Amino acid sequence: MDGVDLQEIARARALELPAAGFERPFGPEVDVAKVLGKVFLLLIPVQEIPVVVLKAEPRDAEVLRATHPEITPGYHMNKRHWITLNPGGTLTEEFVRELVTDSYLLVVETLPRARRPVDPATFLAGVPGSPRADGPVAPVDGPAA
């Protein structure tokens, strides 16, 4: 997928998330997604190539960078806690949407409980295929064992 598609997918997912919105604190070329004032996503050009920068758990970030050549350390961010999604690789739309959601939930977890727009522990519970879903997902050809 190219950089424009990558950013459009990330933007669309971010806008679906409760209490999330975009600002341009760094000028017209950088869109910053925040949840209640805290950054969870940046849409930025790097050497004129559109990329997506997301928050990630440090261990997850390591694994993602090791297994996906198009995922690199966060551009102009803490390299341990942020990743950059670059165009041209094998990232799927579903995977990009999942990474945006994970970034959002990491930030929501840092908010005071009374201000959280969702409960990070249950936000995706019951969504088939979600890593946060409760219990196993039943296979297509029959009930779960």
pLDDT digits (tens, 9 = 90+) for 30-58: 999 999 999 999 999 999 999 999 999 99
pLDDT of residue 65: 94
The two beta strands, 71-73 and 82-85, are antiparallel
The CATH class of the 3-115 domain is alpha beta
State how far Cα 17 lies from the chain centre: 11
Q: pTM of the prediction?
A: 0.85
Residues 6+ apart with CB under 8 A from 7: 43, 50, 51, 52
Say if CB 14 and CB 39 are below 8 A apart: no
pLDDT for 144 beyond 80: no
Cα(96)–Cα(119) distance, integer angstroms: 21
pLDDT of residue 16: 96
Query: What mean pLDDT do residues 83-87 have?
Result: 97
Task: Go through 67-82 and write b for each residue having 16 or more CB atoms within 10 A of its CB, e for each that does not.
Answer: ebebbbebbebeeeeb
Residues 6+ apart with CB under 8 A from 60: 102
Q: In one letter, which amino acid is 43?
A: L
pLDDT for 107 beyond 70: yes
Q: Helix, strand or coil for residue 18?
A: coil
Residue tagged 């997301």 (tokens): 54
Task: Go through 38-57 and write b for each residue having 16 or more CB atoms within 10 A of its CB, e for each that does not.
Answer: ebbbbbbeeeeebbbbbbbe
Query: What mean pLDDT do residues 119-129 have?
Result: 72
> Which residue ranges make up each domain of the chain?
3-115
